[in-house]
Amino acid sequence: MICLIQRVFRGAGSVLYKSIVILTGAGVSAESGMGTFRDKDGIWTRYDLEDVATPEGFARNPGLVHDFYNARRQALRDAEPNAAHHALAKLEQVVAGMGGELLLVTQNIDNLHEKAGSQNLLHMHGELARVKCDACGVAGAWTGDLFSQTECWRCGQAGALRPDVVWFGEMPYGMDGIYERLSACGLFVSIGTSGEVYPAAGFVMEAGMAGAHTIELNLEPSANARGFREGRYGPASEVVARWVDDLVAKLRA
Ligand code: BJW
């Protein structure tokens, strides 16, 4: 019954998912040179996440945290979206043109999905090109370097600006809206994420319980691969592009 509400059947065997939720992680940007966290040459092999991705680490050594994010902001300036980002932007357009809705939820703080043209996009772990002030709460765009003594443009407080990213122990952005969309989606797809960080790792269970078809696209099976009904494995630039072509053909059939 739930599936009938979530899907609109069009002709024999063809099905249009009215509502699609796609979750992306570092793997989708790996081929754009942004690096992943938990792979054998990942970011957490060079940095201790307790030092650079927790509020406590920032309080202990803000200079180290600023250096970490300044370097990644610098890397982002030269990065370009790859075939996977482009394919997802194309899919959003196709689905919208058929009266459906696609929400792209990314754990990535890079801007490669928007650079590729995705519009209905939610950065649940924040954005590298934004900062916020711990003193007055203002948040805004920031593309240059940030230092321990940088003054807030609104309240003037030195040392209160921090990257507008979600660290361990902090609440990710947009959770109410995400859960609402997961509970109503007909298709949930997880791309390039290890399935080790919650709440994102729990999305497949939410969507599955709501009756959605669930697919994992990843270099290799993730920590929660068994929670998906279907898996396709290989580099995102190939697997995602091929999967989007297959789905678009099915939608248009
Ligand atoms: C390719 C590829 C290619 C490679 N093609 N694929 C105990 C149990 C359960 C939970 C907890 C617990 N103790 C604490 C928690 C909660 C905690 C958590 O999950 N901890 C775990 C480590 C156990 N989570 C939190 O604290 C979160 N907040 C929270 O829970 O709030 C309370 C809450 C309650 C109720 C509801 C909602 C909330 C906050 C998490 C913040 C994560 N922050 C970071 C850093 C900040 C952003 C940044 O600097 O970039 O976000 S950590 C880092 O991990 C980053 C990422 O977004 C995140 C996920 O990583 P991702 O994207 O999956 O990357 P990898 O490297 O892990 O995986 C890459 C994958 O790609 C691999 O599978 C590769 O194979 C693949 N790949 N190349 C395709 N070419």
- Provide the CATH number for the domain formed by 43-78+130-165 in this structure: 3.30.1600.10
Task: For residues 21-49, give the mean pLDDT.
Answer: 97
- Does residue 208 have a pLDDT over 70? yes
pLDDT of residue 2: 43
pLDDT of residue 3: 43
pLDDT of residue 4: 41
- Does residue 10 have a pLDDT over 90? no
Task: For residues 61-84, give the mean pLDDT.
Answer: 97
For residue 17, name the pLDDT band (cuts at 50, 70, 90): confident
Residue whose Cα lies nearest atom 24 of ligand 1: it is 198
3-class state of residue 216 by DSSP: strand
Task: For residues 23-29, give the mean pLDDT.
Answer: 98
Q: Is the whole model's pTM more than 0.75, yes or no?
A: yes
Task: For residues 139-158, give the mean pLDDT.
Answer: 97
The segment(s) of the chain belonging to CATH 3.40.50.1220 are 2-34+81-125+172-252
- Spell out where the chain has E strands: 7-9, 15-17, 19-24, 101-106, 121-123, 126-133, 139-141, 161-165, 187-191, 213-218, 230-233
pLDDT of residue 91: 97
- Residues of the chain above pLDDT 90, percent: 91
Give the number of other Cβ atoms within 10 Å of residue 38's Cβ. 17
pLDDT of residue 252: 85
Ligand 1 centre to CA of 140 (Å) is 24
Whether 206 and 191 have beta carbons less than 8 Å apart is answered as no
Architecture in CATH for domain 2-34+81-125+172-252? 3-Layer(aba) Sandwich (3.40)
Residue-wise DSSP of 196-211: -STTGGGHHHHHHHTT
Count of alpha carbons within 13 angstroms of residue 114, beta-carbon side = 12
Task: For residues 100-118, give the mean pLDDT.
Answer: 98
pLDDT of residue 16: 63
For residue 207, name the pLDDT band (cuts at 50, 70, 90): very high
Residues lining ligand 1, CB < 6 A?
A: 25-27, 30-31, 36-39, 42, 53, 107, 109, 125, 165-172, 175, 192-194, 196-199, 218-220, 222, 235-236
* Ramachandran bin of 120, using left for φ above 0, alpha for ψ from -120 to 50, beta for the remaining angles: beta
The segment(s) of the chain belonging to CATH 3.30.1600.10 are 43-78+130-165
Residue predicted with more confidence, 252 or 145 = 145
Please give the Cα distance from 124 to 242 (Å, whole number). 26
pLDDT of residue 18: 87
Please give the Cα distance from 17 to 6 (Å, whole number). 7
Report the residue among 40, 168, 175 best suited for mutation to probe ligand 1: largest number of ligand atoms under 8 A from its CB: 168
For residue 83, name the pLDDT band (cuts at 50, 70, 90): very high
pLDDT of residue 1: 41
Q: What is the rounded end-to-end Cα distance, in angstroms, of the chain?
A: 24
Beta bridge partners of 215: 189, 230
Name 38's Cβ contacts closer than 8 Å, sequence gap at least 6.
Answer: 44, 194, 196
Q: Give the pair of three-digit tokens for residue 15.
A: 């099905």
- Does residue 6 have a pLDDT over 60? no
Please give the Cα distance from 184 to 181 (Å, whole number). 5
State how far Cα 253 lies from the chain centre: 30
pLDDT of residue 253: 84
Residue 125 a catalytic site member: yes
Task: For residues 148-166, give the mean pLDDT.
Answer: 97
